[in-house]
With several copies, the nearest count.
Chain A
């Protein structure tokens, strides 16, 4: 009979490590955190019950250091490891190593992970399983002759993609025959440098594409269910920015078909764990398998909000050998959910990363349907070494408009000072007529022109504030013996300045 783990090591950092730590605590499992030099004061360390030092800040020497992580797991007697997302989450060598060391990896076994990791493999498998894939080649093109011939068959516009790839690296859009060769060579060299594997395959380019993914759960007893979709078409530089569920673009029939296909895709590789099957959906609602993420997604919370199912707890139960607690019939998504990814980036300066100290923080907790999965706290210094995701603000509503209006309210209460964040950016997305109507595709942000907001009122307030401060500071000098409360504040102000100057 399945037995629950006593301790789980979380081989990750930031908000996702915090997320997993909380799930462990709610299950009575002791969470064990690991941290790099830069993360000595990180929130995931503060919230863990145990924490161990990994090494220098560079990922290769800390969160990607397989030997060290295995060593700590053994020392701390953690019988299982949760990889979060990123870092080692889709590294099948790490999974193999865990399998050898007799440590449970909370995720799929290494084989399906390997298949899904290599795009040409997975395309072949999916076709065999009767899962529709984007028209194109199933194998990497052999040479430039082969390339030109295959390109002719597929037709233009087309995409050249790295077989080992992902995340837009080694990808090229080819509009016409003329650009084919040059693009191919660029793609090859980029693929080589990113994945040290130059092999490239061809995909038909889908116009006005939607990026929609299906959440699935598969246990070790062969049960697989789908938990509805997530609309992820709001992207910038192939980076998801905002997600929502259900998708305003899908009809019930397509939704169900995609769910059933996703289950088939998972079954085809003997998948177990939570997983996500990503689809490209064209403007006519035709959908094609894009890739499968064999791990927890950043945007998993919106599915949790409409189903009530805690996906991280499910991952842990599945890994421990428990059967799923629910069948497909039990899954009845309820209401609407939206997620905004709060990044440490400056929306007014071309989304430049903005690491640094958070000197002031007010989070928008409170009220129905608000969730803030955050990895930061006031006084925390956002490190330069890792990705800039600070927090995920999630809202739920009975209607789509309630979820959106709740998000606008929550954003208006979200105050992060000391670094720049994308909080203000979301207002312009959420209030954009095309978003509000729900008619958008992956080109939305690129097409969206930034309309400038009228801030006269705020400007006046700012000038008045400056006036008040300079008046009171001047007064402080002439009359040192003013009322207690007041002088107290002023001295505080002074002290503050001194300590800032250190």
Chain B
């Protein structure tokens, strides 16, 4: 079976052949690996790659795998190259800045329409007794600022967009 994944903007092609139950040969980047796998609790895998042991937590939602290898995290996308590049291009043009944590907005430094430099702080989010400046990942114009001072925002909700 052949599968292709995207990781860190690069495509990886896997060839996988099951030998016996939970044991398979995998070819990746012209290298061959003897892999055996044990299933622990839901989403928990014990992976043995050429004798080396890896404790894996893996979750699949819609388009990508979230994989923990011991304490390291990887996001492995399953979508095709074209889609992927498409999204990449989109990224260049317009960026919606989402929050990676819930919290309360305590300060907003800019207004819609303001010029902004990469790394410049747009607003301050308070969570767990700490104030955190949310900065812009790119230079441009502040197109929209959604929350107001005092608002409570959920993880993943858009704070502002820069174009």
Binding site for B on A (CB under 8 A): 33, 40-41, 45-46, 48-52, 76, 344, 346, 349-350, 352-356, 360, 378-379, 384-388, 412, 414-415, 417, 423-424, 455, 457-471, 473-474, 483, 485-486, 489, 492-493, 495-497, 500
Contact = CB atoms under 8 A, between A and B. Distances in A.
Contacts of B3: 466-467, 470-471
A51 B53 contact: yes
Interface in B51-82: 51-58, 60-61, 65, 67-72, 74, 76, 78
A108 B69 CA distance: 39
Contacts of B45: 465, 468-469
A465 B71 contact: no
A431 to B, nearest CB: 14
A468 B128 contact: no
Contact of B69 (A40, A50, A385, A462): A462
Given A50-B52, A424-B71, A466-B5, A355 B47 contact: no
B100 interface: yes
B69 A468 contact: no
| Residue of A417, A424, A462 most packed against chain B (CB within 10 A) | A462
Nearest to A493: B42
A388 B12 CA distance: 38
B26 interface: yes
Given A45-B53, A464-B35, A466-B76, 8 more contacts: A41-B46, A355-B102, A384-B103, A414-B71, A415-B71, A462-B56, A464-B28, A471-B24
Interface stretch (B14-22, B84-92, B107-115, B141-149): B14-22
Contacts of B51: 50-52, 76
9 contacts: A33-B53, A45-B46, A352-B132, A355-B102, A355-B128, A360-B44, A384-B101, A387-B130, A469-B58
Contact of B54 (A41, A349, A356, A461): A461
B41 interface: yes
Contacts of B78: 466, 470
Contacts of A473: 60
A415 B55 CA distance: 10
B48 A461 contact: no
Given A415-B70, A468-B16, A493-B43, A461 B100 contact: no
B40 A41 contact: yes
* B-side interface size class: 35 or more
A45 B36 CA distance: 13
Contacts of B7: 459, 462-463
B141 to A, nearest CB: 24
Contacts of B56: 461-462, 465
Interface string B112-128: 00000000000000011
B42 A352 contact: no
Contacts of B28: 460, 463-464, 467
A50 to B, nearest CB: 5
Given A468-B16, A469-B58, A496 B42 contact: yes
A46 B53 contact: yes
Which of B1, B5, B56, B61 gathers most chain A CB within 10 Å? B56
9 closest A-B pairs by beta carbon, nearest first, are A353-B128, A489-B39, A462-B74, A458-B69, A462-B67, A461-B54, A496-B42, A353-B127, A388-B128
Contact of B102 (A349, A384, A460, A474): A384
Nearest to A421: B71
A467 B21 contact: no
Contacts of A461: 47, 49, 52, 54, 56, 69
Contact of B24 (A346, A459, A468): A468
A378 B55 CA distance: 15
B53 A49 contact: yes
B151 interface: no
A429 to B, nearest CB: 15
A497 B52 CA distance: 29
Contact of A458 (B42, B44, B72): B72
Contacts of B30: none
Nearest to B39: A489
Contacts of A384: 101-103, 127-128
